[in-house]
Amino acid sequence: MGGALRVACVQVNAGTEIAENLTAAGDLIRRARDAGASFIATPENVSMIVQGRDKVLARVRPEADHPGIPFFADLARETGAWLLAGSLGVLLDDGRVANRSVLFDGQGRVAARYDKIHMFDVDLKGGESYRESATFRPGDHAVLAATPWGRLGMTVCYDVRFAALYRALAQAGASLITVPAAFTVPTGQAHWHVLLRARAIETGCFVLAPAQTGAHDAGRRTYGHSLIISPWGEVLADAGEEVGFVTADLDLDQVAEARGMVPSLRHDRPFEVVKS
C-alpha cells in the first residue's frame, strides 16, 4: 500500500505516578497531532516506570480497569489520530504482568494488542541488572495490525535484538514496524541506532521507535533518541535526549522500492549448522 503518511514518535520521562505520566504523554500527543501527524506512537512503559516487583504489582491493573485504556481511547477519538500506547503494565489472571502494547484507531477502538515476547534479563557493567521475567509473563504471538496505511508489525524494546521476529513480520506483510522502548543508557549508546537501522534494512520496513529518556525511579536512566527510520536504513528523525516529539513524512512507496532493489525477503534457503 503506497501513499504518504506523517508519523510522530513521542519521547517522555515517565515517573511512578500513572495519572501524571498519562497527562504528560497526552499533552505531547496533542502537540504532535497539531503538527499534522496521523499516526502517533509513545514509548514502552508510557504509564509508569517503577523498579522492583512489589512496586509494579502495587500499581498495575487488569486491562478492563487500567486507566491508560480509556485515556488513550478518548485521546484517539479527540484527535482522530491512530495512537500506539507503547506499552502498559497489565495484570494477568496468574498474578504476573503483561508488558502490553495497545494500538487505538482514530475512533478510539482497540485495533490490536501485543504482549512483549522477549524478556529483558541482563547484567550490565557497573552493577546495572534487570530481571523482567521475575514480574512479567512473555507473550507468545507476533502481531500484525491492519491500518489505513498498510500492515503494522508490533514489537517492544528488547525484541529488537531478535531479528527473526522482524523478518517474520515483514514476510507476513508488515510495511511499518513499531519498537516502543525504554533502553538503558549503556546499551543505547552502543546498540540502539545500529540495531534499529538493521531491522529496517533487513525488513524493508519503516521503523518507528519512540523511547523513554532521562532519570527514573531508583536511579534508572534511559537513553532517549526516539527514531524514525526508512526502509533503506536512513534516520529520518532523531529526538535526542529531551522530552518532546519528532515527526517525519513517510513515502510508503519506498517499501516496495527498497524490497525491489534488494529482495532478500524472498531469498531464504534451507541450511544446516555443521559443528566441526
Residues assigned a catalytic role: 44, 116, 157
Round to whole Å and give the CA distance between 82 and 77. 9
Which residues does 260 contact at the CB level (< 8 Å), separation at least 6? Answer: none
Element (H, E) at 176: strand 174-178
Which residues does 28 contact at the CB level (< 8 Å), separation at least 6? Answer: 10, 11, 12, 243, 244, 245
Tracing cell 504476573 back to the chain, one arrives at 96
Residue 60 and residue 94 in contact, taking contact as beta carbons nearer than 8 Å: no
Opening angle at CA 245, ends 60 and 68, nearest 5: 20
Round to whole Å and give the CA distance between 185 and 129. 13
Nearest by Cα to 209 from 160, 145, 142, 138 = 160
* Angle separating helix axes 18-34 and 68-79, nearest 10 degrees: 20
Q: Quick one: CA dihedral 204, 230, 88, 84, positive or negative?
A: negative
